[in-house]
Every structure is written in structure tokens, then in C-alpha cells.
Structure 1
């Protein structure tokens, strides 16, 4: 089996075994990932999720921006587990699964790490969400926030470009 790059929240025991101790888990999963995994372990209700390890980030950078072998497949496998747990499907217009991507460091750094919410909203899934929620304003505001966060965080577009359009 290839190196484990992705841990479901409920796999915190496996991460701890690999990392050796809790500080190792925090170094492997980052503070947010480790805390969400620990909350899952002790039964605090958190949405299902997974963490891509800090080792994956290092390997990605070392490989010049290429995913390390097996990482993408592990992410897809984890996404399928979340689909099963939630009864929703990523990209399904009738019952879409929306996810968030949050960056994390070993220690809390409020305001320093980026987040992209509502990943999975598209023109088609937004229509499905409107049908499910009957709240068109909420759905399209969520879609707008996805576009703005993705533009800012991933593409490096200045937030002012989005704010100017809203004004």
C-alpha cells in the first residue's frame, strides 16, 4: 500500500499510532484536523470529514506541485465515505454534498489560514439546493461566497474586485 496521505476524522487512532503521540498527530494533521478528529473520537457531533496530512503538503511542494502517488485516490475514497455517511453525493444536482477546505497549522493562527466554503456548488447543484431548501437567496449567496473565496484564496484575486461588483 502507498503512504497514507489522508485520514478520515474517525481514523485518529490510526494517525496517533503512526505519529507516536498527540503532538505527532497535531504535526501530522494540523491543529484543526487533529481537534476535529479528537472531537469525533470522544463523540462530539461534528460533520464527517477528512484531513490531508502535512506530509502530503510537503511532498506536493517537493514534487513541484504534483500530487504524491496515491493521494488523489485517497481523497476520492474519503469523499466517497462522506457521501455514504451523509446520504449526499458530490456534484449531484438532486442531493448535493457541499464541503469546506480549511488550511491548518500545528498551532492556532486565527485570521492567518485560508478557508473555502461551499465547495460543490455549481450552476446545477445550486438549482438542486434551491429545490431542497426553498431558499433561493441563501443558496445563491452561498454560491457567491464560494466564488469569492475561491477567487481570493486559490486564484489570488484581490477581494476588492468582488466587493466592487457588489457595491
Structure 2
């Protein structure tokens, strides 16, 4: 019997303040340098905003399959997104109080200038109105 591949790892605290981090600094080949270091910072108690990391293996499988996700990967990512929304008490794209996240590329080793970052994911024509009301 083959064991299921773990494709996503949470880091940070839950809504009750409990650490739910699944990784650590020794997992750079799985989580990439950024993911492993975020997990380690959360584990030692630094105030890391909650999030999750998709494994390097999953990203390579996606790229090597002509941008087709491995079976079950999108379901797992959706589960972790829902968990993040619950931990933060906000939803992506919510018109009143949206959850905004950063998406950062990573690798097991440093690659300056080669990785992408997307900031404020979750901001759209509806959620911007919620942010305007708050300010």
C-alpha cells in the first residue's frame, strides 16, 4: 500500500492562538527556503502571519505535466485555504472585510531575481469597497 503524498503544510497559529505549524527549518527541500524558514519562525514563537506552503515537489509535478495539477492537489489546496480563512476570521474576496494574502515562489536554494511574488491576492472590485469602508 502506498502512502499518500503530503502536498501542503500549514504554518502559524489557529484562531485560538495554538501553533499549527507542520514544518521546520530542516525541510528546505520540501517547503523551499521561504516555506521552511516561515515554519521555523512560527515554531519559535515569532509573530508570523498564518499561511500555508505548497511543496516544491507539487510545483515541479505541475510544471512537468504541462501545467496540470497532480490528482487531488487542488482539493488539498482548497482545504488549506478554507482553514486559513477560518484561522484569520476572514474570506478571500469578501466584500466587507477581505482576507488578503501574499503568494511567494520558493526553492530549496536562493535564486535572486528568479522568483515571483503576488501581493494582495483577494483584492477585487467588490473587496476594495470593504477596505474603503474600513478606512
The question of whether the paired residues in 2 share the 8 Å contact of 1:2 and 1:69 is answered with no
Residue-by-residue CA offset, 1:80-104 (whole Å, 9 max, x unaligned): 1111111111121111101111001
Deviation (angstroms), 1:4? 1.4
Residue matched to 2:96: 94
Structure 2 SS opposite 1:47 = coil
- Size of the aligned set, in residue pairs, is 124
Structure with more of its chain in helix, by fraction: 1
Distance 2:115 2:62 in 1: 18
Structure with more of its chain in strand, by fraction: 2
Distance 1:112 1:59 in 2: 19
Structure showing greater radius of gyration is 1
Moved over 3 A (4+): none
- From 97, 109, 115, the equivalent of 1:107 is 109
Higher relative contact order (CA 8 A, sep 6+): 2
* Unaligned residue ranges in structure 1 (runs of 5+): 17-21, 135-167
1:11 aligns with 2:13: no
User: Normalising by structure 2, what TM-score?
Assistant: 0.85
Distance 2:4 2:69 in 1: 13
* Unaligned residue ranges in structure 2 (runs of 5+): 12-20
Distance 2:4 2:68 in 1: 16
Structure 2 SS opposite 1:32 = helix
